[in-house]
Amino acid sequence: MRPISKNWRCPMPMRWSPQQRLCSMSDHDHHHHNHHGEMHPHQLEPPHEVFHDPKAGEVARAWITNGGLSLSLHAMAFGTPDVWGHVLAGMAQQVAAACAEMGHGNPSDNFAAIRKVLNEDLNKVAAQLSPLANKG
């Protein structure tokens, strides 16, 4: 199945600023070679709109590899981490709509299911990051 690329407009203006070094969130040891400029056969195409916006910039790339999530991201793309809440909400909305377009439920039910699991996982992470959880 072909991936669905959709536009989503954040309720607040998002501005990003390029940075020198991206943050790679994976368990892979990167010291042995560089993959800069290489294409992976399962890599998605960028959304059409980015080619018509000279100020567009990639802020995250997510992969499932070795059974886990691996990220390459521009963590401070928006200047403060809180803006990522808007980005993640927009991603959830787009995933819910894309699943419906591919014949899986409707956007509202899909979003509710995503939100339920996301809230559960966010609560687990919050508990892990809590100062009380880290006392020992």
Strand partners, 23: 73
Q: What phi and psi, each to the nearest 5 degrees, are found at residue 23?
A: -95, 125
Q: Which of 119, 130, 93, 89 is closest to 108 using CA atoms?
A: 93
Sign of CA dihedral 101, 9, 76, 130: negative
Give the model's pLDDT for residue 59: 92
Q: Report whether 63 contacts 70 (CB < 8 A).
A: yes
Give the model's pLDDT for residue 16: 52
Average pLDDT along the chain, 136 residues, taken 10 residues at a time: 50 52 51 71 88 92 89 90 94 96 98 98 94 71
Q: Report whether 42 contacts 70 (CB < 8 A).
A: no
Instruction: At 63, list the tokens.
Output: 């992969």
Output the DSSP codes for the chain. Answer: -PPP------SS-------S--EEESSS--TT---TT---TTPPPPPGGGGG-TT----EEEEEETTEEEEEE-TTTTSSTTHHHHHHHHHHHHHHHHHHHTTSS-HHHHHHHHHHHHHHHHHHHHHHHSTTTT--
Give the model's pLDDT for residue 28: 52
Give the model's pLDDT for residue 43: 84
Give the model's pLDDT for residue 27: 53
